Amino acid sequence: MAEYDVVHVAVAPSAALEEELIKKVAVVVGRSPYETRLRLRGKIPKIIANFNSLQQAESTAQSLRGLGFVVIVFSDSEMRKPWQIFKARILKFEDQAITFCDRTGQARRMEAREAFLILSARMQAYTDTEVTKTTRKLNVTATLLTGGIPIMKKVKEKTTARSFQTESFIRLYGRTSPEPAIQIPQNDFDYSFLGPEMVPSAAANINIAIRKIREVFPQAIFDDSLIEPFGADMPATMVQDTIEDNCKLIYWHHRAVSNADTSIQIQLG
């Protein structure tokens, strides 16, 4: 890890937010009780402190573990590292396994014993597009020159049209790699494998797909903490970056819990 790389400490939200616990956490992370309370709310892990060295981060993490929190320690460069995501177009169920294929014909097969996490998420974002409209307005000068006969003129006006997009997706994570093995998008996927269960709505079809995938991977953790529409007040580019960060935090959190520990340090380097 580079010496200048920031090290983050994140914790999973606590169901019991007694005022005394909030005060203790606030002292540990050096924040106000109000800001600390906000970072401990919600359904997904949140970054609660930032440090310039791993030693400082681990010292704070140890104190938070003592308060009963699941703790994740990771560098900023690891958070920003892009994940190579295999975007599936079709899938085929097998005996305790599923084979996924993308648009190029490449395939990935995941066995039930390999599946670690099924993450269901939904994001909503807006895109602003500049639109030029031509309208007709009264030409006051020309109207006066004609003695009051209304003369109209064409005027071009630029406005911004805002459109909202809602997109759900499924991500499947294996047990040996931190990168999501498979992503199934709601609106660019062939649901013909559903057979008679397929309906005209992609939103309904992806929910049926989730159920069937869970039946094949019963031991995999299922997490839908990102299923509520996220990012409605953000532009599409910002939403994509934020949801990627949230997916990583959720995965690292489940890694920590599944390791029967209250912490996990992501490989720094």
Domain extent for 260 = 1-81+234-269
54-58-60 Cα angle (round to 5): 120
Q: What is each CA distance from 116 to 19, 79, 175, 219, in whole angstroms?
A: 35, 20, 5, 8
| Same domain as 222, residue 103 | yes
| Same domain as 97, residue 135 | no
SS (H, E, C) 190-214: CHHHHHHHCCCCHHHHHHHHHHHHH
CATH number of the domain where residue 202 is located: 2.30.29
What pLDDT was estimated at residue 58? 94
Q: How far apart are CA 209 and CA 184, in angstroms?
A: 9
Asked which of 145, 161, 177 is the last residue of a domain, the reply is 161
| Same domain as 229, residue 106 | yes
Q: What is each CA distance from 44 to 41, 148, 248, 254, in whole angstroms?
A: 8, 67, 10, 11
Low-confidence stretches of the chain (pLDDT beneath 70): 1-4, 125-126, 128, 178-180, 229-239, 260-269
- Reported as a single tens digit per residue, the pLDDT across 238-252 is 667 788 899 999 999
pTM over 0.95? The answer is no
| Same domain as 65, residue 23 | yes
What pLDDT was estimated at residue 268? 46
| Same domain as 109, residue 16 | no
| Same domain as 94, residue 193 | yes
Nearest-10 crossing angle of helices 54-66, 19-29 = 170
What pLDDT was estimated at residue 233? 59
| Same domain as 220, residue 98 | yes
| Same domain as 107, residue 63 | no
Number of domains making up the chain: 3
